[in-house]
A and B are shown apart, each in its own frame.
Chain A
Amino acid sequence: MLSSNIKGVANGFPLLIEVEKVVEKQVDFNEDFLRNLFVKIEWKALVEASRTIGYTELPENAESSMLDSDEFLRKFHHALVELHLEEGALVCPESGRKFPVNKGIPNMLLHEDEV
């Protein structure tokens, strides 16, 4: 979900997710990377995003001490880097504007009047 998390804030606000298809990719586990990212991402947004796509294992709240737990790290890793939104949309909660996702590539292009 890292992508949606990043893309979600691409326009300055967290986006909601509409799911048509999710794919799982196996990615090597890197603890340092997760620790590093933990301080940079919005945990709540990740929990929300993961839930929408059907992954409910992440705890509601997280603090850095939890990074010492292997179990926590693995769940974080799975949600963050192994789950991908393949088809669906990212939706702006305020305007309802949809950014379609096809073949795993979200289209964040704005219309002229939105720039």
Chain B
Amino acid sequence: MKLKQLEGLLGSLDQFENPKIELEQYPTGPHIASRLLYTAENSFGDVEDKVVADFGCGCGTLGLAAALLGAEHVIGLDIDTESLEIASSNADDLDLVMDFVRCDIRNLKWRDRIVDTVVMNPPFGTRRKGADMDFLFVALKVASQAVYSLHKTTTRDHVKRTALRDYNAVSAEVLCELRFDVPQLYKFHKKKEVDVAVDLWRNDSDDDHEDDHDEEKSKVGEGAKDEDEDEGADMEELKKE
């Protein structure tokens, strides 16, 4: 599927009806969502035939993008029932199968690493400091392969240090910097849209599980190589927009 086509389909999805301020419910726009998943698939092979989890899936944009790019199984998790129901009907509209669970990401305790890749646009932590890092911590425990995540550019050093030092990430790289339009959902926003600089991160997960350990490791090696080769192309693509 072409990038434009993916972006177009994501643009047709229903979004939050009554966004909840305390949960930082702002949609991941089709522009960013399509690029996140497109890069994950085309530069790293982290989507097709994989089990993908969308953390804080909201209305499901990221998870559905993964399904559109051929993920074998997609699970969306969010704390909010209303969003999950919108996400579920979005999946039906696109004729895609996606699974949903209502839960608090912070309390997630999956025993087995069934999930290969986690994609997420966590709450940036504007309401509760560190909310995004809580998500990243759990994501790195759950994913056997990689975690794709968005964080404010202002927190870049902190994200890198914490992921590598405290969360056991094998690598943590910024793939590109993006502009995130946080729409004026809330009264305290003065401008119509608040443009926030965010980084798209790829974290290699340390798969400490016994099964297909060697295989996983060699995949990690390949991924790291791809990164150097393809990053330029991705950035070009982004600049053209």
Contacts and interface: CB of A to CB of B under 8 A. Distances in A.
Interface of A: 2-3, 6-7, 9-12, 25, 27, 30, 32-33, 37, 39-41, 81, 103-110, 115
Interface stretch (B4-12, B99-107, B222-230): B99-107
Given A2-B73, A33-B72, A108 B110 contact: no
Contacts of A33: 49, 72-73
Nearest to B113: A40
Contact of B99 (A3, A11, A37, A115): A3
A103 to B, nearest CB: 6
Contact of B81 (A3, A81, A105, A110): A105
A6 B49 contact: no
Nearest to B106: A115
B112 interface: yes
B109 interface: yes
Interface residues of B, number: 27
Contacts of A106: 101-102
Given A27-B97, A103-B85, A6 B110 contact: yes
Closest 9 CB pairs of A and B: A108-B103, A3-B99, A33-B72, A107-B102, A105-B100, A12-B109, A9-B111, A40-B114, A39-B211
Contacts of B94: none
Given A3-B99, A41-B114, A104-B88, 18 more contacts: A2-B73, A6-B75, A7-B101, A10-B101, A10-B108, A11-B109, A12-B111, A32-B49, A33-B72, A37-B51, A40-B112, A40-B113, A81-B97, A104-B100, A105-B85, A107-B103, A108-B101, A109-B102
Nearest to A107: B102
Contacts of A104: 88, 100
A111 B113 CA distance: 25
B79 interface: yes
Q: What is the predominant secondary structure among interface residues of chain A facing chain B?
A: loop
B85 A6 contact: no
Interface string B119-148: 000000000000000000000000000000
A30 B49 contact: yes
B101 to A, nearest CB: 6
Contacts of A103: 85, 88
Nearest to A2: B73
B172 interface: no
B41 to A, nearest CB: 16
Contacts of B99: 2-3, 6
A108 B106 CA distance: 12
B32 interface: no
A6 B75 CA distance: 10
A11 B108 CA distance: 7
B69 interface: no
Nearest to B85: A103
A33 B51 CA distance: 9
A68 to B, nearest CB: 19
